[in-house]
Amino acid sequence: MSVLVYTESENGKFKKNAFEAASYAAEVAKQMGTTATAVSFNANENESLGNYGVSKVLNISNDKLTTFNAKAYASSIRQAVEKEGAKVIILSSSTDTKYLAPLLAGYLKAGYVPNVVAAPESTAPFTVKRTAFSNKGFAFSEISTEIKIVGVSNNSFGLHENKTTATVESFDAAVSDADFSTKSVEIDKVVGKATIADADIVVSAGRGMKGPENWGMIEELADVLGAATACSKPVSDLGWRPHGEHVGQTGKPVASNLYIAIGISGAIQHLAGVSSSKVKVVINSDPEAPFFKAADYGIVGDAFEVVPQLIEKLKEFKAQNA
Amino acid sequence: MKILVCISNVPDTTSKINFTDNDTKFDTAGVQFVINPNDEFGLTRAMWFKEKQSATVHIVTVGDATVEPTMRKALAIGADEAIRVNAVPTDGFFVAQQLANIVKEGAYDLVIAGRESIDYNGGMVPGIMASLLDMNFVNTCISLDVDGTSATALREIDGGKEKLATSLPLIIGGQKGLVEESDLRIPNMRGIMMARQKKLTVIEPVDAINATQDTKFTKPAAKGAVKLATSVDELINLLHNEAKVI
Ligand SMILES: Cc1cc2nc3c(=O)[nH]c(=O)nc-3n(C[C@H](O)[C@H](O)[C@H](O)COP(=O)(O)OP(=O)(O)OC[C@H]3O[C@@H](n4cnc5c(N)ncnc54)[C@H](O)[C@@H]3O)c2cc1C
């Protein structure tokens, strides 16, 4: 009857969201008087999940599952759910887990609530708080099926250290050819750089940058801060930046600790994607730009003057605080 | 190829969000409803298949009679027929079961849904539908080509994109990228006139579970005023000492 958590990894290494989902699972397990079991795929250092309150890890080690495959992963996790008799399943909110979770919900006839931002309000009835209306509201959702699936919003619950000894078992989930009826052919991905989904800091820029040739300073600022780069929708529509960087209602959500918006007006559709970020900083030449109303800090000024200064000063700051 | 496009009827993206009945219901007063933006990209891609690969395109919406103006808009854009499942869509699992029934009955080859609806942001309907029907499924789909029964799709992943090979029958959760925004269609007068004549079938829902219920809504707490820094030094200082984010 344990709580089962899917822990995402890449090249054997757990992602930060795996530890956050594990922290959440441990909290739910505590509330329900049970334990948290993780399921991992080809992961190293499975014991590290014990730092976040997981007491058992089912590690699936299978070469066929090196690359994420939604159906094959969902079918494997379902077998782990059945083995453990789990009644609650926790996942993160990465693009892959949002692909996987509804498949799992369908297979298990389980109610699924995504975008959850806090520990359950209660576990009987099982009620969680989630964002809705593109972050303009919150809903309290009650799940009434026997098995319940919760998708935790990135960076909302946070990492909670809770040292336990995790026993690691290898788990042999059966996968069939039918599980691979949708196959990965090619992955085109920026490597070695923080992505919008899991970066602590995101540096984002809009049409105020005037053209793609001016993105050098945005990338440099992101480099100094170890941040991911992002943009507003018109910027990706104009082809100045790749589609995957577009933030907002029709683009990616950002739930970083720090979001720096440069030359972005702050239209409501853009704000929908950033309101889960903790601290928002706006640099805009127009003091009336709507983004200032949603921001925590700001500088009214020309980005072409402010950003180069910010890069220099941050370099000094980093050198001093290294 | 027989295509079904799932259309969700959602508040216009600039709508003010309010709640009534002791914060248990979304307040629709004064709200303009539109085709869910993610579905609009899918509908336009379906039109492309219709024109270039002679597909037939049906649309489906789960909703009461108030969703019909949005459905007529989709017909005016060029869909051939519409189906309305006469039920209030309160839960994603419920909606997915209703849609799965329509897909099965209509023997569709390709089902195009949006990645998520911009009202409840569940992002679950296409995936649940796929598992209930055991159909192939691609989520966050940003490009789709079909050749016979083979399909090639691109999907967005964190930090990039992935190319997938799959086959029909297929369900996708689509979004911007499926077509360029400049290719989105606005219904013209002729389309609007023709839409009035097109078939809109109303069918009653099948028995289904409601897996979740929203019991209460709240709005985010009002935010304090922005702190404007007069210099870059001051900003760095605030971010380091006050916000503690650098
Ligand atoms: C259905 C729908 C969905 C949408 N979804 C999204 C979405 O997901 N994401 C999104 O971003 N948008 C979305 N939009 C578009 C959105 O409404 C805005 O058009 C868009 O966010 C504006 O982008 P921007 O701020 O970069 O450009 P602009 O509106 O052109 O603003 C540029 C800003 O830069 C400032 N600026 C100019 N020069 C400088 C300078 N030298 N230094 C500093 N500042 C300067 C200006 O003061 C201005 O505030 C959507 C729209 C619709 C209708």
Single-letter amino acid, residue B204: E
* Per-residue model confidence as pLDDT tens digits over A16-32: 999 999 999 999 999 99
Q: What is the pLDDT, as a whole number, of residue A51?
A: 98
B239 pLDDT band, cuts 50/70/90, is very high
The residue-averaged pLDDT of B136-151 equals 98
Single-letter amino acid, residue B114: G
* Per-residue model confidence as pLDDT tens digits over B193-222: 999 999 999 999 999 999 999 999 999 988
* Per-residue model confidence as pLDDT tens digits over A100-130: 999 999 999 999 999 999 999 999 999 999 9
Closest C-alpha residue for ligand 1 atom 52 = A269
The residue-averaged pLDDT of B220-243 equals 95
The residue whose two tokens read 């900003």 is: B235
Nearest to A70 among B137, B177, B233 (CB): B137
* Chain B residue with Cα closest to A110: B211
Q: What is the pLDDT, as a whole number, of residue A2?
A: 87
From the alpha carbon of B37, which atom of ligand 1 is closest? Answer: 1
pLDDT exceeds 80 at position B175? yes
The residue-averaged pLDDT of B100-118 equals 98
From the alpha carbon of A264, which atom of ligand 1 is closest? Answer: 25
Question: What does pTM read for this prediction?
Answer: 0.93
Phi first, then psi: what are they for A4, rounded to 5°?
A: -105, 135
A243 pLDDT band, cuts 50/70/90, is confident
The residue-averaged pLDDT of B224-229 equals 96
- Classify burial at B130, counting beta carbons within 10 Å of its beta carbon; exposed 0-12, middle 13-18, buried 19 or more: buried
**Contact predicate B35/B76, CB 8 Å:** no
**What is the overall mean pLDDT for chain A?**
96
C-alpha dihedral, B30 to B34 to B38 to B43, nearest 10°:
180
Cα A190 to averaged position of ligand 1 atoms, centre (Å): 25
* Per-residue model confidence as pLDDT tens digits over A135-184: 999 999 999 999 999 999 999 999 999 999 999 999 999 999 999 999 99
Which chain A residues have a beta carbon less than 8 Å from that of B22?
none
pLDDT exceeds 80 at position A322? no
Note the ipTM here.
Answer: 0.96
Q: Which of A157, A159, A151, A148 is nearest to A93 (CA)?
A: A151
**Contact predicate A271/A249, CB 8 Å:** no
The residue-averaged pLDDT of A55-59 equals 98
